[in-house]
Amino acid sequence: MHKQNTWELLERLADPVVKPEEQRQLEQQIKKDPNLQDILQTFRILQTWPAVEKATLAEPYPQVLINRLEHEWELEAVDRELGRVFPFVAAASLAAAVIIGIINIGAMREFANDPIDALLGLPQHSLDDIILAEL
């Protein structure tokens, strides 16, 4: 018998809605084939598997998994908060840089060679040059 048909036969036999007459016919069919009888025995043993497994496996509470997920959620929350704070930090840094630049330009305009040097606070003459000039 084709493997697929064998399985269909077993499932039909195990179907709770199958009529007694059909069940008898199916059992007759199986009785004729010793190989099929063996397969049916194995099928019936495996049908008891969930029950015996349930009776032996005391299902543990998934605490380790819950802890792992909580850690994941914590990291996610930190990332979210950092994402929220970042634009403010970036804007404040930029504003501070602009203010320092303006102060530098204001204070160093007369002493610097060009605006870039003034922005960076670099005078045209170093302190040594000034001292030497005054000597």
Partner 1 sequence: MGDHHAFRQLVERFHGRLLATAMGMLRSAHDAEEVVQESFVRFYRAINRFEGRSELGTYLTRITMNESLKVIRKNKRWKFRLLSRDDPDSTVPDPVEVIKIQPMETKERAACIREAVQTLKPEFRNVVVLRFLNDYSTAECARILQIPAGTVMSRLSRALEKLGPALKHLNEHA
Distance CA 130, CA 40 (A): 107
Q: Is 19 in the site for partner 1 (CB under 8 A)?
A: no
Structure tokens at 79: 């990332």
Rg (CA), the chain: 43
In the DSSP assignment, the letter for residue 126 is -
* Range in contact with partner 1 (rule: CB under 8 A) among 24-32, 40-48, 78-86, 116-124: 40-48
Q: Is 11 in the site for partner 1 (CB under 8 A)?
A: yes
What are the residues binding partner 1 (CB under 8 A)?
Answer: 2-4, 6-8, 10-11, 35, 38-39, 41-50, 52-53, 55-57, 59, 61-62, 64-66, 68-70, 72-73
